[in-house]
Amino acid sequence: MKGKKNLITLLDYSDAQVAALIDCADQLKKQKGKLRADLKGKTVALVFQKPSNRTRVSFSVGVHQLGGHSLYLGPDEISLGKRESTYDVAKTLSRYVQCIVARVFHHSDMVELAEHADVPVINALCDLHHPCQALADIQTIRGQFGKWKGLTLAYVGDGNNVFHSLMIACAKVGMNVRFAGPPGHDPDPEILKVARTIARKNGVAIECVRNPQAAVKGAQIIYSDVWVSMGQEQETARRTKDFKGYQINADLLKDAAKNYIFMHCLPAHRGLEVTADVIDGKHSVIFDQAENRLHAQKAVLLYLLKSGH
């Protein structure tokens, strides 16, 4: 497909494009699931190497609401690079479908898939990025505060794929970010460097500290993620020890802004990275985030597929 567009990382999108996607997502949200015909006659393949709840369901429902058809291909159907080469999978699926949504273990697989596919590819999660989650997150934040400018997001935990995409998104829309995590669990230095460049251009900062109290102080958004991600189960004991002291709880949140919101991309482990009273409390917006995955991803699908593709 000549000149095809993808969503592999938000670094490939301008600040204005990111904001436009959220504007579109907000408009779609107001339509309350009204059936449209934008993707009529189009099929979207969901190629998942990892299990999923929100990502699979939100994409399937979103494609349906836009008038298209989704086809789920789980780990048993397609094993990228194992049963069949990523190149062959990309070329074959491109003959059948109009878009590929992929959830993979390795970023290199995502890049290879996008390079060889003749249809748009959407990154539904890899080890370095989770752009769809980040779009839903900044949509949620603006929905709560009516703005992005002047806000500070404190992320306490692992400098993982979720944080990478989140700090890029925040930098692009003009939000300050503070990261607090233990040694050995910092964000990727190259991604951090690029995100900081974007943040400086927009007059905001991305800070990395060890002390969670310092990160949370005065912040309007408090964000946490699991300490043990899929594929890291054998590291559970070590990681639980490493992250001791980085739990989001009522004591830590005493120094947050009075009107703070708590965010988590789910699934969550209550009693580990966050206490139940926080994640289930009045400041929690976790299910708004989950819902907004649907709207943000529909906006991405429209951007990639509606304009002549």
Instruction: Please list the active-site residues.
Output: 103, 130, 133, 225, 265, 293
**How many C-beta neighbours within 10 Å does residue 238 have?**
12
The whole-angstrom separation of Cα 133 and Cα 165 is 8
The angle that helices 286-305 and 15-30 make with each other, rounded to 10 degrees, is: 110
Mapped onto helix, strand or coil, the DSSP state of residue 194 is helix
Phi–psi pair at 69, nearest 5 degrees: -130, 135
Peptide bond into 267 cis (omega under 30): yes
178 bridge partner residues = 154, 207
List the structure tokens of 181. Answer: 């995590």
206: closest CA among 265, 144, 142, 159?
A: 159
Q: For residue 130, what are the CA distances in angstroms to 109, 116, 135, 257?
A: 14, 21, 9, 27
Phi–psi pair at 207, nearest 5 degrees: -110, 145
C-beta separation of 148 from 23 below 8 A: no
The whole-angstrom separation of Cα 109 and Cα 18 is 24
Instruction: Give the amino acid at 30.
Output: K
Which residue, chain included where needed, has tokens 């393949």?
45
The whole-angstrom separation of Cα 207 and Cα 87 is 39
**Cβ neighbours of residue 213 under 8 Å, at least 6 residues apart?**
252, 255
Q: Distance between the two ends of the chain, CA-based, in angstroms?
A: 8
